[in-house]
Structure 1
Amino acid sequence: MNDSIDAAMMMKDSYLCSQAVFATLGEQCGIERNQALKLSTGFGAGIARRGDICGAVSGAIMAIGLKHGNYEVHDVDARDKVFFLAQKLIEGIKARHGCHTCRGLTGIDFTKPEGLKLFEEKGIGEKICIKVIMDCVDTVKEIW
């Protein structure tokens, strides 16, 4: 199974989009799946259900940082590489899907109780989120 399909299957198994992307890509950078799942939990549904940046995009940016990020304050080349790759990812998602925010992509307000119900009833995960998840994984694998 390829990585984007693995990530899509994780969402079908009820993992968050952020978890599906970061766990899939993070393993390739040496982080254990359980640790990746925990680290990426808060980024789901547009960061803590706020509808902001898509969790799949957040998970992908975390993976880019894990592979290329700086840990020494003066390593600006590594930092700038992460910024460049993250911008490239966001631009690609916006070009293919129209935006890079959870609310913009799904039309769902997860801060309201009826949001999750609408998400399920309308099959948004299958119609929209899985495609974005797969595009995030594929894009990161192409650019890194």
Structure 2
Amino acid sequence: MSKGDIAKQNFMNGYNCSQAVLLAFCEDFGLEKETALKISEPFGGGMGRMREVCGTVTGMFMVIGLAMGNDNSKDNTTKKNVYKSVQELAAKFKEDNGSIICRELLGFQKNNKESYVPSERTNEYYKKRPCPELCKYAADILEEYLKKENLI
């Protein structure tokens, strides 16, 4: 299975979009599943369901941090390379999907009053949302990028 297939399945199993993407890659970088799920949970629904940056995109960025980041605060070379990768992946995602903003991808004008309440996962939910396919897409382009850069 591709990382995209795994990410899509993760989403279909009830994980949010950000969790679905990060979880597809956590084993590659020695990140425990439970930690990955906790770290990425706030980023679902466009950051806490605020419909801002798509959770699949933030999931990709977390994986880039795992693959390329370091813990030396003075190493601007690493930051430069990480930021370059983030910008390349965001541009590719936007080029192919029209946006990296959750509400724009979903066709929403603005949030409702109870935007913090997660939607129930029903057959109707999956029919009207592109989220499973966006999880697949994000993980697939990330996997391709990481292989090209010899990071996995």
- What TM-score, normalized by structure 2, do the two folds share? 0.84
Task: Name the residue aligned to 2:128.
Answer: 124
Distance (Å, rounded) in 1 between the aligned partners of 2:32 and 2:111: 29
Task: Name the residue aligned to 1:42.
Answer: 42
Distance (Å, rounded) in 2 between the aligned partners of 1:112 and 1:100: 23
Shift of 1:73: 1.3
Distance (Å, rounded) in 2 between the aligned partners of 1:47 and 1:111: 15
Over aligned residue pairs, what C-alpha RMSD do you find? 2.2
Shift of 1:112: 3.6
Structure 2 unaligned blocks of 5 or more: 147-152
Maintained 8 Å contact 2:2/2:140: no
Shift of 1:119: 8.4
For these two proteins, the number of residue pairs brought into alignment is: 142
DSSP-derived class of the 2:29 partner: coil
Distance (Å, rounded) in 2 between the aligned partners of 1:132 and 1:58: 12
Residue 136 (str. 1) matches residue 133 (str. 2): no
Distance (Å, rounded) in 2 between the aligned partners of 1:41 and 1:104: 21
What one-letter code is carried by the residue in structure 2 that aligns with 1:137? A
DSSP-derived class of the 1:21 partner: helix
What one-letter code is carried by the residue in structure 1 that aligns with 2:50? R
CA distance 1:111–1:47, shift in 2 (3 Å): farther
CA distance 1:8–1:110, shift in 2 (3 Å): farther
What one-letter code is carried by the residue in structure 2 that aligns with 1:136? A
**Identical positions, percent:** 31
Shift of 1:117: 5.5
Structure 1 unaligned blocks of 5 or more: none
- What TM-score, normalized by structure 1, do the two folds share? 0.88
What one-letter code is carried by the residue in structure 2 that aligns with 1:35? T
- 1:22-63 Cα distance to aligned partner (Å, 9 max, x none): 111122111011110111000000000100000010011001
